[in-house]
Amino acid sequence: MGFKDHFSRHAELYRRYRPTYPDAVFAWLASISPGRALALDVGTGNGQAAVKLADHFDQVLATDASAAQVDAATPHPKVDYRVARAEDSGLADASVDLVLAAQAFHWFDFDTFFAECRRVVRPRGVVAALTYFHPTITPAVDAVLASYIDHVRADWPLERRFVDARYRNVPWPFDEVAVPDFEMTLELDLDGFLGYLATWSAAQRYRERTGLDPRARFIVYFSEAWGDPHRPSLVRFPLGGRVGFVRGSHVIRT
List the CATH number of the domain containing 54.
3.40.50.150
pLDDT digits (tens, 9 = 90+) for 44-103: 988 999 999 999 999 999 999 999 889 989 999 999 999 999 999 999 999 999 999 999
pLDDT at 26 over 80: yes
Parallel, antiparallel, or unpaired for β 233-245 and 175-177? antiparallel
Q: How far apart are CA 233 and CA 18, in angstroms?
A: 15
- 34 occurs within a structural domain: yes
Contact 50, 76 (CB under 8 A): yes
Question: In the predicted model, what is the mean pLDDT of residues 156-177?
Answer: 94
- Tell me how far CA of residue 14 lies from CA of 17, 77, 118, 215, 235, in angstroms: 6, 22, 30, 17, 16
Q: What range does the domain containing 95 cover?
A: 8-245
Q: How far apart are CA 194 and CA 219, in angstroms?
A: 8
State the number of CA atoms in the 13 A half-sphere of 139 facing the CB: 0
- 25 occurs within a structural domain: yes
- 251 occurs within a structural domain: no
Query: Which of the four pLDDT bands, split at 50, 70 and 90, describes residue 143?
Result: very high
- 3 occurs within a structural domain: no
Question: In the predicted model, what is the mean pLDDT of residues 147-159?
Answer: 95
Domain count, the chain: 1
- 253 occurs within a structural domain: no
Q: Give the distance, in angstroms, between the CA of residue 237 and the centroid of all CA atoms in the same chain.
A: 12
Question: In the predicted model, what is the mean pLDDT of residues 121-126?
Answer: 95
- 72 occurs within a structural domain: yes
Q: Residue 81, SS3? A: strand
Question: In the predicted model, what is the mean pLDDT of residues 165-170?
Answer: 94
Beta bridge mates, 183: 238
pLDDT at 191 over 80: yes
- 115 occurs within a structural domain: yes
